[in-house]
Amino acid sequence: MASIRDLKKDVDYLVSMVLVDCFQYTNYFENADKEGAYKIVEDLMAKHSDLRKRINHPDGKDNPKLIKQHYRKIGEDLLAVCDHAYAELAQLIEKQA
């Protein structure tokens, strides 16, 4: 199992990559849907905060199997959140093309 520290770093890194892409979209396109991009950023930051809280407060501290499942679920949720944000950003970009 990876360390909690590495999981926190992964959350921060992946979320920051999506944020950078959202801001690059708003700067690259003249007629960019800035409100749509900022909505993606807002949702992503809320989910980032939720993921960090879940990392810091695991369920079932006495049972190693529950801990492992808890952190695995956080990893899966992280990938789902980033994938969903990229899908929304792709829709905004398609509107520009």
pLDDT value at 83 more than 60: yes
Q: Where are the alpha helices (DSSP H) in 1-97?
A: 4-28, 34-56, 64-96
Comparison of pLDDT for 62 and 46, the residue scoring more: 46
pLDDT value at 47 more than 60: yes
Average pLDDT over residues 63-67: 90
Whether 32 and 96 have beta carbons less than 8 Å apart is answered as: yes
Task: Categorise residue 27: left if φ over 0, alpha if ψ from -120 to 50, beta otherwise.
Answer: alpha
Give residue limits of the domains in the chain: 4-96
Indicate the average pLDDT of the chain: 93
- Rounded to an integer, what distance in angstroms lies between the CA atom of residue 47 and that of residue 29? 26
Which one-letter amino acid corresponds to residue 1?
Answer: M
Count of beta carbons in the 10 Å neighbourhood of residue 75: 14
